[in-house]
Chain A
């Protein structure tokens, strides 16, 4: 069974640009969550999508947005990039929001975004 696939693995962008990151969950998983990991703030929740609907959102500015497609693949977009957006962005999938009790969340390897 293929794992959670995130693309690209690495990105370098310039301040002010926008970026789109992609996440393909495990086949059959319909819940996708996004987390930002930085040395200073640690792991912080961005948002969760289930069946194409945003179910929950963390405390991030509106420049951070996401969506989920009918095949459960998800994208997150960051507009007007700032230096502080440099981070590892991790995607996690689960069969449903409550299924973590049996299977936990499975994480991808992440996309390393560097803003210069």
Chain B
């Protein structure tokens, strides 16, 4: 079945550092890919998405590019802030619109 693999956390960075959170997937056909963010005590917020190969999703300084050849959708940000501290989930949904399949989440901790 479809699956998503994320790098283990926590990822600990200093403010203004460069962020990469790796995400790879296994899916039948061509899924749509998402990054969601969860702040403490809250639900999931859609951060960005890409629906076809080579698409680049971007939002609030975060970017991710849909790489079909490497089945990856790595999340990047050039300069993180303390307010970016949260748990980040990579997810996919297949072309038959069945369900969102999530990775295990990566906790990001940014210190001043």
Contact B43 A45 (CB under 8 A): no
Given known pairs A90-B44, A110-B43, the reply for A101 and B32 (CB within 8 Å) is: yes
A109 contacts B by Cβ under 8 Å: yes
If A43-B89, A45-B101 are given as contacts, then 12 extra A-B residue pairs at C-beta distance below 8 Å, sorted by A number, are A33-B100, A43-B100, A43-B105, A45-B99, A90-B43, A90-B44, A92-B100, A105-B100, A107-B36, A107-B43, A107-B45, A107-B46
Chain B nearest CB, measured from A26 CB (Å): 13
Contact B99 A100 (CB under 8 A): no
Chain B residues with a Cβ closer than 8 Å to the other chain, count: 21
Interface mask (A21-62 → B, CB under 8 Å = 1, otherwise 0): 000000000000101000000110100100000001010000
Across-interface contacts of A110 in B (CB, < 8 A): 42-43
A7 contacts B by Cβ under 8 Å: no
Q: Which residues of A contact B (CB under 8 A)?
A: 4, 6, 33, 35, 42-43, 45, 48, 56, 58, 90, 92, 97-98, 100-101, 104-110
Point out the residue from A105, A106, A109 that lies within 8 Å of B42, measured CB to CB. A109
Across-interface contacts of A92 in B (CB, < 8 A): 44, 100
Whole-angstrom distance between the alpha carbons of A104 and B33 in the complex?
A: 10
Contact A97 B100 (CB under 8 A): no
Across-interface contacts of A109 in B (CB, < 8 A): 42-43
Whole-angstrom distance between the alpha carbons of A101 and B98 in the complex?
A: 13
Contact A100 B98 (CB under 8 A): no
Given known pairs A42-B104, A43-B102, the reply for A100 and B97 (CB within 8 Å) is: yes
